[in-house]
Chains A and B, each alone.
Chain A
Amino acid sequence: MSTALTPMATAPDPVTSWYEASARTRIRLLLDPGSFVELIGPEKREISPHLKVFDLPEQFDDGIVVGCGSLDGSKVLIAAQEGRFMGGAFGEVHGAKLTGLLRAARDIGSMPVLILFDTGGVRLQEANAGELAIAEIMRAVIEARSAGAKVIGLIGGRAGCYGGGGLIAGCCSGLIVSEQGRIAVSGPEVIETNRGVEEFDSRDRALVWRTMGGKHRRLMGAAEVFVDDTGQAFRDAALMLLGQVGGFELRTLTNEQARLEARLRDFGGCADAVDIWMAEGIADAASIPALPADQFIALADRAGRISHDAR
């Protein structure tokens, strides 16, 4: 381990599991060593002004780490949500840090943005500010992409990528997801409350993962790349995807419209993910959930369903 002084030292986690890692550790696993410069870090103490009313503790970085660094020698902007603080939810300050980062990407034009999602959506105690932040972030992602910046989402943390986070993810140039990752708008409990346990048993983990989890999202084309739960895998995938994703123009949207319409036509009548996988021609669809990462990746690449000119 290097003994060089870093502006802000952090405890190196002994784990390399993306799922287990903190936001700062994920950034360290992803970027070139020593390249990360944090902006508005915890020493600035820009905490949420809204949690005191609810007798809730604050975190000095309000649950998101933003800054710049390099990935294989090229400069990138990066944001990582801390999923263990308030479920990684978007609050006023948390959201504004990401909004500002994306606006910088828009102004620079050529620097990609990596968003390490780990969020349950809007922070209820600041619901209006959180929801607005998400709306502003969606707009800022589109503005950045329109200016030529690629925006890549990485999803594999404890909180998944839910609620408004799922909508932001849908605005990205491309997404990388691990087995642990989940992407959805409504959470399992909310669906169960709304529609009953017969339709969706939120405690049925296999069902949750079939419906919203990384493997299903990859097979559907909702995420471009599936990776193993390691920093190295996410890093390699980010480098690869940055070289593959397209720009953002009208044609991108019309392609996306066609892609989504086709999905409804092909799978709109399917009752479960296994039915979708079977309809996609995957042999032994029921074995997908148990497939180890490397075999799954090979199978997914054979099955196709990625179009880099949509989104």
Chain B
Amino acid sequence: MEDLSLHHLAPQPAKGAQKMAIVGVVASGNLEVLVERVLSDLECLIEIRTAAEGFGEVWNAVVADFVERYSPGGLKFSINDGGARPDTVSLRLAQAVRLMEGEQ
């Protein structure tokens, strides 16, 4: 198992007032994302636990992309990964942040 911890500064705080959200399931090719509004306004933290070791660079790229697109300031994302592909990861992160912003 590999644990990754990616810190970012976002240009803006995430919109909305939702405190917590969860998306996804830990299954083969899938992942769960728990997101909590617990950090200071522009801070962003993504913690990943994955059985697929050695993909740090891929996670870095996917997360950097996500932070740039969605500016999730103040949010902590905790991920349990079941071996999802990068596009599935991006999808779940996007779903998660949309829930926090109050959009359905």
Contact = CB atoms under 8 A, between A and B. Distances in A.
B27 A85 contact: yes
Contacts of B81: 57
Interface residues of A, number: 25
Contacts of B43: none
Nearest to A24: B22
Interface in B84-104: 95, 99-100, 102, 104
B27 A60 contact: no
Contacts of B32: 42, 59-60
Interface string A47-74: 0000010011111100000000000000
Contacts of B23: 10-11
A58 B95 contact: no
Given A52-B1, A57-B82, A9 B100 contact: yes
Given A1-B104, A22-B25, A84-B25, A55 B34 contact: no
Sort chain B's interface into a size bin: 20 to 34
A29 B50 CA distance: 31
A5 interface: yes
A250 interface: no
B71 interface: no
A173 B14 CA distance: 47
B42 interface: no
A246 B72 CA distance: 52
Contacts of A45: 78
B9 interface: no
11 contacts: A11-B23, A12-B104, A22-B25, A42-B32, A56-B51, A57-B26, A57-B50, A57-B80, A58-B49, A58-B80, A59-B32
Interface of A: 1, 3, 5-12, 22, 24, 42-43, 45, 52, 55-60, 82, 84-85
Interface of B: 1, 17-23, 25-27, 30, 32, 34, 36, 49-51, 78, 80-82, 95, 99-100, 102, 104
